[in-house]
Structure 1
Amino acid sequence: MSNVGQHLLSGGLSGFASTICLQPLDLLKTRLQQGDGSSGPRFASPTFTCVTIASTSARNLTVFRTARDIVAIQGPRGLWRGTNATLVRNVPGIALYMTALTHARSVMAVSPYFKAVQKYPSGDSRTRQGSVLPTLTMQGNLLSGATTRVAVGFILNPFSVLKARFESSIYAYESLSGGFMSIVRAGPSELFRGFLASSLRDAPYAGLFVVFYEGLKIETYWTSHTTSAGIHSFSAASAGALATIFTHPFDVIKTKVQVRSEARYHGLYKTIRTIMTQRGIAGFFDGVSLRLSRKVFSSAIGWAVYEGMLMLMASA
Structure 2
Amino acid sequence: MSENKVEQLRDEGSRMQVVAAGAIAGLVSRFCIAPLDVVKIRLQLQSHSLSDPLSYANQAHKGPVYKGTIFTLKTILREEGLTGLWKGNVPAEGMYLAYGGIQFLAYRSATQAIEDLTPNYKLPGTAVSFVAGAVAGTAATTATYPLDLLRTRFAAQGNDRVYTSLRSSIRDIAKNEGPKGFFRGLGAGIGQIVPYMGLFFAFYESLKPAFAGVSMPLHSLGSGDAIAGVLASMMSKTVVFPLDTVRKRLQVQGPTRAKYVHKNIPAYDTGVVRTLTSIVAKEGARSLYRGLTVGLFKAAPASAITMWTYERAIHSLQSFDALEGKH
Relative to the length of structure 2, the TM-score reads: 0.79
CA RMSD of aligned residues (A): 2.5
User: 1:101 corresponds to which residue?
Assistant: 107
* Separation in structure 1 between the aligned mates of residue 229 and residue 96 of structure 2, nearest angstrom: 17
CA deviation string 1:258-295 (max 9, x = no partner): 11445335421331122111221101101001111111
User: CA 1:55 to 1:310, structure 2 compared with 1: closer, same or farther past 3 Å?
Assistant: closer
User: 1:130 corresponds to which residue?
Assistant: none
CA deviation string 1:34-76 (max 9, x = no partner): 12338589xxxxxxxxxx74174x5xx2222222221112222
User: 2:135 corresponds to which residue?
Assistant: 147
**Equivalent residues of 2:91, 2:147 under 8 A apart:** yes
1:255 is displaced (CA, Å) by 0.5
1:286-305 aligned within 5 A:
286-305=290-309
- The amino acid across from 1:249 in the alignment is P
Question: Is residue 2:222 matched to residue 1:213?
Answer: no
**Equivalent residues of 1:161, 1:191 under 8 A apart:** yes
User: 2:4 corresponds to which residue?
Assistant: none
User: CA 1:64 to 1:288, structure 2 compared with 1: closer, same or farther past 3 Å?
Assistant: same
* Alignment partner of 1:64 out of 70, 77, 102: 70
User: 2:87 corresponds to which residue?
Assistant: 81
1:169 is displaced (CA, Å) by 2.7
* Separation in structure 1 between the aligned mates of residue 120 and residue 167 of structure 2, nearest angstrom: 46
**Equivalent residues of 1:114, 1:140 under 8 A apart:** no
**Equivalent residues of 1:23, 1:79 under 8 A apart:** yes
1:159 is displaced (CA, Å) by 1.2
* Separation in structure 1 between the aligned mates of residue 25 and residue 109 of structure 2, nearest angstrom: 17
**Equivalent residues of 2:250, 2:268 under 8 A apart:** no
**Equivalent residues of 1:114, 1:137 under 8 A apart:** no
Question: Is residue 2:176 matched to residue 1:194?
Answer: no
1:227 is displaced (CA, Å) by 4.9
1:169-184 aligned within 5 A:
169=157, 172-184=162-174
* Separation in structure 1 between the aligned mates of residue 85 and residue 15 of structure 2, nearest angstrom: 34
Q: Secondary structure at the match of 2:222?
A: helix
* Separation in structure 1 between the aligned mates of residue 73 and residue 277 of structure 2, nearest angstrom: 29
Structure 2 stretches lacking a partner, 5+ long: 1-12, 50-54, 258-265, 323-327
* Separation in structure 1 between the aligned mates of residue 270 and residue 101 of structure 2, nearest angstrom: 31
1:10 is displaced (CA, Å) by 0.8
Question: Is residue 2:234 matched to residue 1:241?
Answer: yes
Q: Between the two proteins, what is the percent identity of the paired residues?
A: 25
* Alignment partner of 2:17 out of 6, 12, 19: 6
Structure 1 stretches lacking a partner, 5+ long: 42-51, 117-135
Q: Secondary structure at the match of 1:263?
A: coil
1:108 is displaced (CA, Å) by 2.2
* Separation in structure 1 between the aligned mates of residue 208 and residue 251 of structure 2, nearest angstrom: 35
* Separation in structure 2 between the aligned mates of residue 252 and residue 114 of structure 1, nearest angstrom: 40
Residue range with higher mean Cα deviation, 93-102 or 193-202? 93-102
* Separation in structure 1 between the aligned mates of residue 41 and residue 93 of structure 2, nearest angstrom: 16
Relative to the length of structure 1, the TM-score reads: 0.82
User: CA 1:55 to 1:238, structure 2 compared with 1: closer, same or farther past 3 Å?
Assistant: closer
Count residues with an aligned counterpart. Answer: 283
* Separation in structure 2 between the aligned mates of residue 267 and residue 278 of structure 1, nearest angstrom: 16
Q: Secondary structure at the match of 1:37?
A: coil
**Equivalent residues of 1:108, 1:114 under 8 A apart:** no
